[in-house]
Amino acid sequence: MPEGAQGNHRVASLLVPFHTYQVKRLTVTGHTKDETFKCILQLRKLHDQESSCYYQCRSLLKNARKLAQKKDVAALGELSCGQIDRFMSQWNNSKAFRDEYDHMIKEL
């Protein structure tokens, strides 16, 4: 076999394991990328849920403040009773809600 052909064969034999390594590496990298993307989506969903609660509370307080400025005691009482009913409904129907509430209160 000519010397140049033998050198090409040696290079080719070295490239096959390297190519296999690269394919495995890209597969692992792709898997890691997919898992990372899933984690990011979960974090975004959690952030959106938390933001939603924040804006709901903010809107409620804004409405209560407007009613207080108008001195509309009846509407303010109705608003607060609605919130109490909503809270009690969640309290009575969800153990997870009670556990989360207890945890938050203990942190204060």
Residue 86's pLDDT is what? 94
CA gap 91, 108 in Å, rounded: 19
If asked whether residues 66 and 97 sit together in one domain, one would say no
Full domain range(s) for residue 13: 1-70
CA torsion 49-52-57-61 (nearest 10°) is 170
The half-sphere exposure of 87 on its side-chain side, counting CA atoms within 13 A, is 9
If asked whether residues 60 and 25 sit together in one domain, one would say yes
If asked whether residues 65 and 77 sit together in one domain, one would say no
**Which whole-number Å values give the CA distances from 90 to 42, 62, 94, 100, in the listed order?**
24, 23, 6, 11
Contact 70, 55 (CB under 8 A): no
Q: How many domains does the chain have?
A: 2
Higher pLDDT among residues 52 and 88, named by residue:
88
Q: Is the pLDDT of residue 82 over 70?
A: yes
Q: Is the pLDDT of residue 88 over 80?
A: yes
Residue 74's pLDDT is what? 96
Residue 107's pLDDT is what? 85
pTM reported for the whole predicted model = 0.53
If asked whether residues 3 and 40 sit together in one domain, one would say yes
Q: How confident is the model at residue 35 (pLDDT cuts 50, 70, 90)?
A: confident
If asked whether residues 7 and 49 sit together in one domain, one would say yes
If asked whether residues 44 and 66 sit together in one domain, one would say yes
CA torsion 19-25-27-28 (nearest 10°) is 160
If asked whether residues 65 and 97 sit together in one domain, one would say no
